[in-house]
């Protein structure tokens, strides 16, 4: 989840936004030639106290605030809300806090997966060293494996207070999404509206494949929960107005205008003014556009308001001025580099994108939903068209690998980006997800306890 937008308070051509067309134009300005395409990787991880495994509160000698202040000595600048550090920034990268203190790196836009992996490695080194001095550990998984919702702390961010109050009105698992989940996602560019549409359709149809390959959230409150990606299941009962598979993306005529209309119908959360979040939960951005927002009567939105609002929709794939792949559970170091490799291989090479579209173009709406609904429980073993998701995953990985080979982006040792797919290939060939491997340990070496997770799988 983002903080306030960095977009300036004035929209296109200055002044308040007057027309829907300006919102459509804003999305369209994301189009850029292929030689300017970049890769932006984001990942979240759980922080825990190494002595009792509990998530740290914001304040205190070993709290999240102390962690942020410690990391500031590694070349980051503290970002404050009401004089309290709530984020870090460095160039185009940032470190932000999720609602219960999960730490998120939003990486800078870079050219290659090699660059992404270097950025992730440097960041995690900084986090691990700073956390170690405070008696804190870092864990990458999709769902908090041990602690109850009521035992999770809340961070002092105005945005989260509004969401915390609103979530129970629209779904039963929204507060779990906020406090007990972690993800890894990648943000990718498009060349034109037509290119965006094709990439959007391919990535929506194949998002369950990424969910299956990255499935790593099988425990709730210390026990198996019956899912392999419980994080993915949580999104099915968070808020139907702003989540899901966006069936309209596959309809004729889909483009920037149709997505703008979707966003206009997503209920608002807030408006950010003079350092304060004004509660607008459930209100209409269409009313805001007409100057009829009840909490700001007569005022019209700025481009920053629109940019902020775009971050409050949570579909499986999200369009801003780029496309965000949102289907994967958080995980360990090597898997953080695997997700951008998977999607870059599929979407940043024309032949791979064509092959990926050929793979999914005849999926029916019912089949797309069956994949989305079944993968959280069954992952790679979910039956599909006389085979299983595993076969789909192997084919998608083959296409991605070929795409990365053709990109031919090499590191200093001459290796191309296909190396980063290896963890996913191993899961698919073994037909066993990270979640299933942890469940095996839970029922054997761990003697029915999740506590060993915090040492054996910590960064």
| 22 domain-assigned | no
Q: What is the band of 14 on the pLDDT scale with cuts at 50, 70, 90?
A: very low
User: 48 in a domain, yes or no?
Assistant: yes
CATH code of residue 233: 3.30.590.20
Q: pLDDT higher for 110 or 333?
A: 110
pLDDT top residue among 3 and 445: 445
| Antiparallel, parallel or unpaired: β 314-315 and 243-244 | parallel
Which pLDDT belongs to residue 9? 40
In this prediction, residues 354-359 reach a mean pLDDT of 98
Q: Is the pLDDT reported for residue 5 higher than 50?
A: no
Answer whether 394's CB lies under 8 Å from 428's CB: yes
What is the three-class DSSP state of 80?
strand
Which structural domain, as residue segments, surrounds residue 116? 31-266+313-456
Residue 5 lies in a domain: no
pLDDT of residue 254 exceeding 90, the answer is yes
Residue corresponding to tokens 């559970």: 329
User: pLDDT tens digit string along 91-130?
Assistant: 999 999 999 999 999 999 999 999 999 999 999 999 999 9
412, pLDDT greater than 60:
yes
Mean pLDDT computed over 401-414: 97
Question: 152 in the Ramachandran plot: left (φ > 0), alpha (ψ -120 to 50) or beta?
Answer: beta
Specify the number of domains making up the chain: 1
- Mean per-residue pLDDT, 336-363: 98
Q: What is the pLDDT of residue 1?
A: 46
pLDDT band at 265 (very low <50, low <70, confident <90, very high): very high
Q: Is residue 107 part of a domain?
A: yes
pLDDT of residue 158 exceeding 80, the answer is yes
Nearest one of 170, 151, 175 to 56, comparing CA atoms? 151
pLDDT at 10: 39
Q: What is the mean pLDDT of the chain?
A: 96
Look at the chain and count its residues.
459
Categorize the per-residue pLDDT at 333 as very low, low, confident or very high, splitting at 50, 70 and 90. confident
Question: Is residue 245 situated within a structural domain?
Answer: yes
Average pLDDT over residues 43-56: 98
Backbone angles phi, psi at 51, to 5 degrees: -85, -40
Residue 17: inside a domain? no
| Triad 235, 236, 237: Cα angle to 5° | 90
pLDDT for 220 beyond 50 = yes
Any idea what the Cα angle at residue 441 is, between residues 52 and 220, rounded to 5°?
55
Residue 12 clears pLDDT 80, i.e. is over it: no
- Percent of the chain topping pLDDT 70: 97
Cβ-Cβ contacts under 8 Å for 15 (sequence gap 6 or more): none
Sign, CA torsion 131/133/135/137 = positive
Q: Decide if pLDDT at 31 tops 80.
A: yes
Strands 219-220 and 183-188: unpaired
pLDDT at 4: 45
């Amino acid at each position: 989840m983002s903080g306030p937008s960095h977009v300036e308070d004035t929209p296109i051509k200055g002044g308040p936004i007057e027309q829907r067309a300006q919102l459509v134009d804003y999305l369209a300005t994301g189009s850029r030639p292929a030689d300017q395409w970049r890769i932006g990787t984001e990942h979240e991880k759980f922080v825990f106290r190494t002595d009792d495994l509990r998530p740290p509160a914001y304040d205190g000698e070993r709290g999240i605030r102390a962690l942020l202040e410690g990391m500031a000595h590694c070349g980051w600048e503290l970002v404050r809300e009401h004089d309290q550090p709530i984020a870090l920034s460095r160039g185009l990268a940032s470190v932000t806090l999720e609602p219960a203190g999960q730490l998120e790196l939003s990486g800078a836009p870079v050219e290659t997966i090699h660059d992404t992996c270097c950025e992730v490695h440097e960041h995690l080194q900084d986090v691990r060293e700073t956390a170690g001095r405070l008696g804190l550990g870092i864990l990458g998984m999709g769902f908090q494996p041990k602690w109850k919702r009521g035992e999770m702390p809340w961070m002092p961010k105005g945005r989260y207070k509004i969401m915390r109050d609103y979530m129970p009105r629209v779904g039963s698992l929204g507060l779990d999404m906020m406090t007990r989940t972690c993800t890894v996602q990648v943000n990718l560019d498009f060349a034109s509206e037509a290119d965006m549409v094709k990439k959007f359709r391919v990535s929506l149809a194949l998002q369950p494949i990424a969910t299956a390959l990255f499935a790593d959230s099988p425990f709730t409150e210390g026990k198996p929960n019956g899912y392999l990606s419980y994080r993915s299941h949580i999104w099915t009962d968070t808020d139907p107005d702003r989540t899901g598979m966006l069936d309209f993306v596959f309809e004729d005529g889909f483009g920037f205008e149709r997505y703008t209309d979707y966003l206009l119908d997503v209920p608002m959360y807030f408006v950010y003014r003079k350092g304060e979040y004004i509660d607008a939960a459930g209100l209409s951005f269409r009313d805001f556009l007409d100057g009829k927002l009840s909490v700001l009567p007569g005022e019209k939105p700025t481009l920053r308001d629109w940019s902020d609002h775009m971050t409050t929709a949570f579909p499986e794939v999200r369009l801003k001025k780029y496309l965000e792949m949102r289907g994967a559970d958080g995980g360990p170091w090597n898997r953080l580099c695997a997700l951008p490799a998977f999607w870059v291989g599929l979407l940043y090479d024309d032949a791979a994108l064509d092959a990926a579209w050929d793979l999914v173009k005849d999926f029916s709406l019912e089949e797309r939903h069956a994949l989305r609904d079944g993968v959280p429980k069954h992952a790679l073993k979910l039956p599909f068209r006389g085979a299983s998701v595993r076969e789909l995953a192997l084919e998608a990985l083959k296409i991605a690998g070929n795409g990365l080979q053709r990109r031919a982006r090499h590191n200093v040792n001459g290796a191309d980006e296909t190396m980063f797919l290896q963890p996913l290939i191993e899961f698919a060939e073994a037909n066993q997800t990270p979640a299933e491997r942890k469940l095996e340990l839970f029922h054997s070496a761990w003697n029915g306890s999740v506590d060993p997770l915090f040492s054996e799988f910590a960064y």
